[in-house]
Amino acid sequence: MEQALTMAEHWSQVLENLPQALRDICQHSVKVEVTDDGLEIIVSNAFLLGILSQKLDIIRGEFAKIGVPAVKIKVILDESAAPPDRKDDTNHSQVGPRPVKEPRYLLKLRPELTFATLVVGTSNELAYRAAQDVAKWNQRGPVILIGGSGSGKTHLMQAIAQEARINNPEAKIVYVPTQALMEHHRRTARSRLDSEWKKFEEKYQLADLLLLDDLHFLDKFDWTKTRLQLRFILEELVARNALVVLASIRSVETFHDLDSELKSRLRAMRSIRIHPPDYDMRTKIFLGQAARAGLNLTPELALKAVERISLDIRAINGAVSRLKDWVELLERVADEEAIRKLFGDEPTNARVTFDTVIETVARFYGTTSRELTSPGDKFASAKQVAVFLCHEMLGMDLYELAEDFQLEAARIASIVRTIQQKNSLLREDVEQLRKDLHGAPNDE
User: What span, in angstroms and rounded, lies between the C-alpha atoms of 181 and 201?
Assistant: 11
CA 351, 357, 359, 363 dihedral sign is: positive
Q: What is the dihedral of CA 130, 226, 98, 47, to 10 degrees?
A: -70
Residue 158 predicted with pLDDT over 90: yes
Distance CA 109, CA 189 (A): 28
Q: What is the pLDDT of residue 349?
A: 53
pLDDT band at 101 (very low <50, low <70, confident <90, very high): very low
DSSP 241: T
Give CA separation, 417 vs 155, 221, 408, in Å.
Answer: 36, 31, 15
CB 437 within 8 A of CB 361: no
- For the cut 60, the answer to whether the pLDDT of residue 161 exceeds it is yes
Give the strand order in the sheet containing 243-248: 173-177, 209-213, 243-248, 143-147, 270-274
pLDDT tens for 259-306 read 788 888 888 899 998 887 777 888 888 898 899 889 989 999 888 888
Which 3 state secondary structure label does DSSP give 348?
coil
Q: Assess whether pLDDT exceeds 60 at residue 31.
A: yes
End-to-end distance of the chain based on CA atoms, in angstroms? 43
In the structure, what pLDDT confidence band is assigned to residue 249 with cuts at 50, 70 and 90?
confident
Angle 217-218-224 from CA coordinates, rounded to 5°: 140
Can you spell out the DSSP letters for 16-61?
HHS-HHHHHHHHHTSEEEE-SSEEEEEESSHHHHHHHHHHHHHHHH
The pLDDT of residue 311 is: 64
Q: Is the per-residue pLDDT at 343 higher than 90? A: no
Q: Which of 74-78, 98-102, 271-275, 414-418 has the lowest mean pLDDT?
A: 98-102
DSSP state of 349: S
Give the 3-state secondary structure of residue 103: coil
Would you say how long the chain is, in residues?
444
Q: What is the mean pLDDT of residues 155-169?
A: 92
pLDDT surpasses 70 at 3: no
In the predicted model, is pLDDT for residue 60 greater than 90?
A: no
Residue 328 has pLDDT above 90, yes or no: no
Instruction: Check residue 131 and give its pLDDT.
Output: 95
Dihedral sign, Cα of residue 334, residue 338, residue 343, residue 349: positive
Crossing angle for the helix pair 194-204 and 178-191, nearest 10 degrees? 160
Whether residue 243 has pLDDT greater than 90: yes
CA distance 386 to 354: 9
Q: Which residue has the higher pLDDT, 77 or 1?
A: 77
| Other CB atoms within 10 Å distance of the CB of residue 318 | 15
- How sure is the predictor about 157, in pLDDT bands with cuts at 50, 70 and 90? very high
Q: What's the pLDDT band for 346 if we cut at 50, 70, 90?
A: low
Answer for the pair 131, 243: CB distance below 8 angstroms, yes or no: no
Average pLDDT over all residues of the chain: 80
**Dist. CA 133–CA 125, nearest whole Å:** 12
What are 367-376's pLDDT values in tens digits?
A: 888 888 887 7
- Does residue 338 have a pLDDT over 80? yes
Those residues whose C-beta lies under 8 Å from the C-beta of residue 197, and which sit 6 or more positions away, are 188
Instruction: Find all residues with CB under 8 Å of 170, minimum gap 6, and list them.
Output: none
Model confidence at 144, pLDDT cuts 50, 70, 90, reads: very high
- What whole-number distance in Å separates Cα of residue 403 and Cα of residue 396? 11
Residue 229 and residue 217: Cα distance in Å, rounded? 15
Helices (H), 366-426: 369-372, 380-394, 398-405, 409-420
Enclosing H/E stretch for 195:
helix 194-204
- Rounded to 5°, angle at Cα 191 from 189 and 196: 80
